Structure 1
Amino acid sequence: MPNPIPFSVLDFAPIRAGETAAHALRQTVDMARLAETLGFLRYWVAEHHGVQTVASAATSVVIGHIAAHTSTLRVGSGGIMLPNHTPFMVAEQFGTLESLYPGRIDLGVGRASGSADAVTKALRSSQEARERFPDDLRELQSFFREPEPGNNLRAVPGAGLDVPIWVLASSPYSAQQAAALGLPLAFATHIGPDARDPAIAAYRSAFEPSAVLDKPYVVVAGVVTAAPTDEEARHLFSSMQQLSLRRLRSTPFAQLQPPIADFDTLPTEDERPRLDAALRAVITGGPQQVEQKLAKLIEETDADEVMVLSFIHDLDARRRSLEIVGKVRDSLNARRHALQ
């Protein structure tokens, strides 16, 4: 009998137009509490810097705040961008979180900077740091082990603690790093939709069993905008479309804007196919459409877990979307059970 597929949440702590990061962080805690009530497994927050839309830049601080206001939810990073940090400091931060909230902390790491060039410079990050990712990942693992005799370099807290490390990927490169170390993989379809299948295939084919995992484990993350009707979902999704159009135009990101009825009039003829391609992995619709599309996603990827994110401006609609996804999860798992 197949195990139920767990569902989790990725949150960028989006800052709505006219509000501040303080508003966004309070809203993130509210959403995490709802996710816990609805039976979601994890709640991860993303690291981005210098972006007016995102309030989760100090990711480990946000994780601690969410963990303090929930009780059973696993809380983690989706992810810590390793080129922006030293592995030793990451081990200390997440060792501290694990010490405060034992058995509830996940450490997802990625190799991008998560920032524009000017911010990357301010972070003292670099292309060299990105290229060092495989070595830094191994070094990070080492700081959670007990040091060898004679080695006085010890992460405190950190050494000897069980902090699960996940590798985030949007391309085959990071997927292969996860495979080489026998670590779980979280693939971001919202960033690399075209790379999804080759990355997951590369991970599974090259996977080396480890003390962490004896077989591959794949989380597939993607944008889901669910609403009572397909029409309402399409309308709500126009908030993310506006963000994506700004990105396509290399325009500085603004705060999350309310949905608009006439978004289709905004892209030029040249921009439209590029925008559609960038957003082609997004799942939008009413409960039936969302269930069909999530079922297809799980079938195509053989995902072990699904992680959803959204950029919905209206807070009630954001909550309702998560509630719909929770019901879809239960329906999909009931169908899996019935087939056996």
Structure 2
Amino acid sequence: MIPFSVLDLAPIRQGSDAAQAFRNSLDLARHAETWGFRRFWLAEHHNMTGIASAATSVVIGHIAGGTKTIRVGSGGVMLPNHSPLVIAEQFGTLESLYPGRIDLGLGRAPGTDQFTARAMRRDLATAAENFPHDVLELQALLGDVQPNQAIRAVPGMGLKVPLWILGSSMFGAQLAAMLGLPFAFASHFAPQMLMPALREYRARFEPSVQLDKPYAMVAVNVFAADSDDEARRMFTSLQQQFINLRRGTPGPLPPPVDDMDALWSPAEKAGVGQALAYAAVGSPEVVEQRLKEIIADTAADELITTGQIYDHTARLHSFEIAAGVRDRLAAQRAV
């Protein structure tokens, strides 16, 4: 069975707030655990009034503390925003509190606009360039203590929290391959380089202590409902969020609308369609066929599903349908 996981952006809906977003995220995580999803990841974004997971490690602790078995982690921590030692201490703390359940996915983008990035890290020009070195430093801080090692992550040292490299380009694929780490591709919003990156990752992979063969996870937007029309209407919340972001007016997750053509230009429609190409939107049958195609095309080892759905009950139902699709696909593979 190909595992399914959940990527959550802790969406703040129009008319709501971060506190409700965190309650909804925990409720979704508890359901995802019951439905057999493998992991529940949260993403680091900043200065986004529609996303509540800026303090990613704090929210991970909230989710892990309210669940029992599902793996919880970052998808991802934007490492150039932070000192590797601080992240080692944070995730060492999480691993100490919730042993065997914590993942540390790492990205090199700022997770925000350039002005906010400068407010977070004053060495903006070199921070992203140092990403490979920072990953190695972080890996060492979470590894076994070496003789005469002066700086230690406490907690963190020796805990070997599993690292992932996240990416939307060839760079992440090459780094993950070189370091022998699992690779997660952000195809839910940047699918253009997915297939070349997967080929590069698999071709160049070097086995490591953490991983002996390539392991690739592909991100997919899933908007599943009892009917195609209902699912397409739910999808308009994410479509609106994308055009608002591209117009430079990001905000809380908007409610769905009946007619997107009244809101976007033909160029915006084409751009959003390209960015959200890796989406399964429709009834259970439509979603099953689309996910089957994606798995076949990518040979993914795991799918991480996400859905910026305005109504929380509808969001739960969408993930429940996705879990049912996973089980049917597993049954088909077993025949």
> Which interval holds the TM-score relative to the shorter structure?
over 0.9
Deviates more, 1:209-218 or 1:240-249: 240-249
The structural deviation recorded for 1:275 is: 2.3
Spell out the pairing of 1:40-119 with structure 2 (5 A cutoff).
Answer: 40-119=37-116
Instruction: Determine the structure 2 residue equivalent to 1:336.
Output: 333
CA distance in 2, matches of 1:33, 1:148: 39
Query: Are 2:32 and 1:35 aligned?
Result: yes
Residue number among 207, 221, 224 corresponding to 1:223 in the alignment: 221
The structural deviation recorded for 1:210 is: 0.7
Instruction: Determine the structure 2 residue equivalent to 1:204.
Output: 202
Residue number among 13, 16, 38 corresponding to 2:10 in the alignment: 13
Spell out the pairing of 1:157-306 with structure 2 (5 A cutoff).
Answer: 157-249=155-247, 251-306=248-303
Instruction: Determine the structure 2 residue equivalent to 1:146.
Output: 144
**Would you say the 8 A contact 1:48–1:115 is kept in 2?**
yes
**Would you say the 8 A contact 1:147–1:153 is kept in 2?**
no
CA distance in 2, matches of 1:66, 1:247: 27
- Superposed CA RMSD in Å reads 0.9
Q: With the length of structure 1 as denominator, give the TM-score of the two structures.
A: 0.97
For the residue of structure 2 that corresponds to 1:131, the secondary structure is coil
**Would you say the 8 A contact 1:15–1:52 is kept in 2?**
yes
Residue number among 15, 23, 37 corresponding to 1:26 in the alignment: 23
**Would you say the 8 A contact 2:221–2:276 is kept in 1?**
no
For the residue of structure 2 that corresponds to 1:193, the secondary structure is coil
- How far does the alpha carbon of each residue in 1:117-147 deviate from its partner, in whole angstroms, 9 at most, with x for none? 1210110151310111111111110001222
CA distance in 2, matches of 1:269, 1:164: 43
CA distance in 2, matches of 1:5, 1:26: 29
- How far does the alpha carbon of each residue in 1:192-222 deviate from its partner, in whole angstroms, 9 at most, with x for none? 2111001111100000011111100011112
**Would you say the 8 A contact 2:177–2:205 is kept in 1?**
yes
**Would you say the 8 A contact 1:248–1:275 is kept in 2?**
no
**Would you say the 8 A contact 2:187–2:219 is kept in 1?**
yes
CA distance in 2, matches of 1:276, 1:39: 30
1:285 is matched by which residue type in structure 2? G
For the residue of structure 2 that corresponds to 1:22, the secondary structure is helix
CA distance in 2, matches of 1:197, 1:127: 29
For the residue of structure 2 that corresponds to 1:222, the secondary structure is strand
- How far does the alpha carbon of each residue in 1:273-312 deviate from its partner, in whole angstroms, 9 at most, with x for none? 2222122222211100100010011011101111000010
For the residue of structure 1 that corresponds to 2:128, the secondary structure is helix
2:233 is matched by which residue type in structure 1? H
CA distance in 2, matches of 1:272, 1:5: 32
1:146 is matched by which residue type in structure 2? D
CA distance in 2, matches of 1:270, 1:235: 20
2:93 is matched by which residue type in structure 1? T
Q: With the length of structure 2 as denominator, give the TM-score of the two structures.
A: 0.98
- How far does the alpha carbon of each residue in 1:68-106 deviate from its partner, in whole angstroms, 9 at most, with x for none? 000001000000000100111100000000000000000
CA distance in 2, matches of 1:90, 1:327: 36
The structural deviation recorded for 1:191 is: 2.7
CA distance in 2, matches of 1:63, 1:292: 32
The structural deviation recorded for 1:272 is: 2.4
CA distance in 2, matches of 1:156, 1:260: 50
- How far does the alpha carbon of each residue in 1:215-245 deviate from its partner, in whole angstroms, 9 at most, with x for none? 0001111211111111110000000010111
CA distance in 2, matches of 1:223, 1:154: 39
CA distance in 2, matches of 1:113, 1:246: 19
CA distance in 2, matches of 1:334, 1:113: 41
